[in-house]
């Protein structure tokens, strides 16, 4: 998705006056000096500064687009967490509750541990089969030829087991356990085994599913629970033209291993992915003043609420209190409230300038685990070895 913009900035052709910067690629852009320093540009051109625009009004998500000096290179336009969605109608069904408790010995409720999540997935897969329903126990973003599966594992599942930053040791740039990394640690292998194991409880389309198909599967009523990007939460919960589960969408924090929630609370870890993006101005732009005027327009408070309601995206603190957002919040089981109050427990992609290279290098091993060509253990051992080699090639971890 970045190729055209990157090629333009590398060549200095100035085709684009502004670009969308995904949170996970910003570090590569900064390392290559592709973007205009917006903080400095507005200081140097005070006549461009809009009275309706203020960097200070954004949530802490804007920190992802700052350099080491605190200067800003992007105006946030979307931010959301990847959340645990579940079917409230299924979880509150008296017959399901009775059967679940009889089988597992505890009450049916949104999972707080991985074993509970597995129990629920197993239960509703069988429940669907026994009742002639097109219903499975969990979504899995398990596309076996797309980077989305790498992202689901390393940015959504692995952190809930206490494996952070893709398992790469950021002090010596090594991924394997022997050299202080965690990509092939016992915790990582447990996480991958858990996730791959969910395929038996996932809709048949799981191994062809990216983030879009996962949202579509949940909206079609084909899964009892799942990790779903928050940008989809509002329409799944409120749009009857696109969703069959309107009024029945529950929102919760994901299940985590022991100690992970505490690590997220003190800042030493995190429980999942905080996604989003910003608009930046290429350093090669032929019209930087016009671009900054436009970015200030799209970054003013008055345009935020409609965007937040349409896309479950919030980038300004004041947007949470807008009446339009408050109304939809109630219809989405308080998704916006959860993002406001619990958002700090989530984190964006690691600050790696080599982001794309490692995704390309390690993804095939995740795909092979999903297809059964490799065991989860072997897949991660080989992924760590290949990641080490790629990092050395890129000048890291010599």
Has residue 361 been placed in a domain? no
DSSP 305-333: HHHHHHHS---BGGGGGSHHHHHHHHHTT
Report pLDDT for 126: 98
Same domain, 32 and 116: no
Has residue 350 been placed in a domain? no
Residues in the chain: 398
pLDDT at residue 77 greater than cutoff 80:
yes
Has residue 195 been placed in a domain? yes
Please name the residue that has the structure tokens 């095939």: 364
Same domain, 70 and 138: no
pLDDT at residue 234 greater than cutoff 50:
yes
Domain stop point among 241, 266, 291 = 266
pLDDT at residue 225 greater than cutoff 90:
yes
Domain stop point among 266, 297, 316 = 266
Mean pLDDT of 269-283: 96
Same domain, 68 and 159: no
Report pLDDT for 390: 98
Phi, psi of 365 (to 5 degrees): -75, -35
Q: How sure is the predictor about 382, in pLDDT bands with cuts at 50, 70 and 90?
A: very high
Residue-number span of the structural domain to which 310 is assigned: 3-80+274-345
Q: What is the pTM of this model?
A: 0.94
Mean pLDDT of 6-32: 89
Same domain, 312 and 211: no
Has residue 369 been placed in a domain? no
Domain stop point among 313, 329, 345 = 345
Same domain, 255 and 129: yes
Give the residue among 123, 124, 104, 120 at the shortest CA–CA distance from 112.
Answer: 120
Mean pLDDT of 29-33: 92
Tens-digit pLDDT profile for residues 134-163: 999 999 999 999 999 999 999 999 999 999
Q: Which residues pair with 226 in a beta bridge?
A: 85
- Burial code (b: 16+ CB inside 10 Å, e: under 16) for 322-343 equals beebeebbeebbebbbbbbebb
Could you give the number of structural domains in the chain?
Answer: 2
Question: Which alpha helices (H) appear in the chain, and where do they start and end?
Answer: 3-11, 26-31, 38-44, 88-91, 94-104, 114-130, 148-151, 158-160, 186-197, 211-219, 233-238, 260-266, 288-298, 304-311, 323-331, 335-342, 355-371, 376-393
Has residue 98 been placed in a domain? yes
Please state, rounded to an integer, the average pLDDT across all residues of the chain.
Answer: 96
Please name the residue that has the structure tokens 């929630």: 261
Same domain, 103 and 162: yes
Mean pLDDT of 236-251: 97
The β-bridge relationship of strands 19-22 and 249-252 is unpaired
Judged on CB neighbours under 10 Å (0-12, 13-18, 19+), 178 is exposed
364 half-sphere exposure, CB direction, 13 A CA radius: 7
pLDDT at residue 5 greater than cutoff 90:
no
Has residue 354 been placed in a domain? no
Same domain, 260 and 316: no
Sequence-distant (6+) residues with CB within 8 A of 374 are: 365, 368, 382
Neighbours of 8 (CB within 10 A): 18
Same domain, 75 and 103: no
Has residue 11 been placed in a domain? yes
Mean pLDDT of 39-48: 97
Mean pLDDT of 256-275: 97
Mean pLDDT of 372-380: 98
Mean pLDDT of 233-240: 95
Report pLDDT for 1: 47
Has residue 163 been placed in a domain? yes
Q: Where residue 328 sits, what CATH number does that domain have?
A: 3.40.190.10
What percent of the chain has a predicted confidence (pLDDT) above 70?
A: 99
Same domain, 317 and 171: no
Report pLDDT for 8: 82
CA 282 to chain centre: 25
Q: Which residues pair with 87 in a beta bridge?
A: 249
User: Which pairs from 379-386 meet CB under 8 Å and 24+ separation?
Assistant: 379/192, 380/183, 380/184, 380/188, 380/189, 380/192, 381/176, 381/184, 383/175, 383/183, 383/184, 384/167, 384/175, 384/176, 384/177, 384/181, 384/183, 384/184, 385/176, 386/361, 386/362
Same domain, 196 and 72: no
Tens-digit pLDDT profile for residues 186-195: 999 999 999 9
Tens-digit pLDDT profile for residues 280-304: 999 999 999 999 999 999 999 999 9
Sequence-distant (6+) residues with CB within 8 A of 113 are: 255, 256, 257
Mean pLDDT of 203-223: 98
pLDDT at residue 343 greater than cutoff 80:
yes
Report pLDDT for 38: 98
Mean pLDDT of 310-336: 95
Same domain, 206 and 337: no
Mean pLDDT of 108-115: 98
Q: How sure is the predictor about 2, in pLDDT bands with cuts at 50, 70 and 90?
A: low
Same domain, 50 and 120: no
Q: How sure is the predictor about 262, in pLDDT bands with cuts at 50, 70 and 90?
A: very high
CA atoms of 37 and 45, how far apart (whole Å): 12
Mean pLDDT of 67-94: 97
């Amino acid at each position: 998705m970045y190729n055209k913009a990157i090629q333009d900035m590398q060549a200095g052709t100035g085709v684009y006056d502004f670009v969308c910067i995904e949170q996970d690629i910003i570090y590569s852009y900064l390392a290559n000096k592709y973007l205009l320093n917006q903080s400095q540009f507005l200081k140097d051109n005070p006549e461009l500064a809009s009275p309706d625009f203020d960097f200070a009004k954004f949530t802490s998500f804007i920190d992802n687009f700052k350099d080491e000096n605190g200067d800003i290179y992007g105006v946030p336009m979307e931010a959301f967490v990847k959340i645990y969605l579940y079917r409230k109608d299924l979880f509150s069904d008296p017959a399901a509750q009775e059967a679940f408790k009889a089988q597992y010995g505890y009450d049916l409720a949104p999972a707080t541990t991985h074993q509970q999540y597995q129990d629920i997935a197993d239960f509703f897969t069988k429940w669907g089969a026994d009742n002639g329903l097109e219903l499975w126990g969990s979504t899995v973003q398990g596309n076996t030829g797309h980077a989305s599966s790498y992202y689901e594992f390393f940015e959504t599942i692995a952190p809930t087991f206490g494996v952070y930053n893709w398992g790469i040791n950021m002090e010596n740039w090594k991924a394997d356990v022997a050299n202080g990394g965690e990509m092939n640690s016992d915790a990582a292998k447990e996480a991958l085994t858990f996730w791959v194991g969910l395929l038996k409880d996932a809709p048949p389309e799981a191994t062809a599913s990216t983030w879009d198909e996962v949202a579509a599967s949940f909206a079609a009523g084909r899964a009892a629970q799942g990790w779903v990007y928050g940008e989809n939460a509002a329409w799944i919960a409120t749009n009857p033209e696109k969703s069959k589960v309107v009024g029945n969408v529950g929102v919760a924090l994901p299940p985590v291993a022991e100690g992970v929630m505490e690590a997220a609370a003190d800042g030493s870890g995190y429980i999942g992915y905080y996604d989003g993006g910003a608009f930046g101005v290429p350093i090669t732009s032929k019209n930087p003043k016009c671009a900054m005027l436009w970015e200030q327009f799209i970054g003013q408070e008055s345009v935020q609420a409609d965007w937040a309601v349409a896309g479950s995206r919030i980038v300004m603190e004041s947007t949470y209190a807008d009446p339009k957002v408050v109304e939809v919040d109630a219809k989405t089981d308080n998704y916006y409230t959860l993002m406001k109050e619990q958002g700090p427990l989530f984190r964006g992609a690691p600050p790696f300038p080599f982001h794309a290279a490692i995704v390309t290098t390690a993804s095939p091993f995740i795909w092979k685990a999903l297809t059964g060509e490799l065991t989860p253990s072997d897949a991660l051992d080989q992924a760590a070895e290949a990641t080490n080699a790629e990092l050395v090639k890129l000048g890291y971890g010599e």
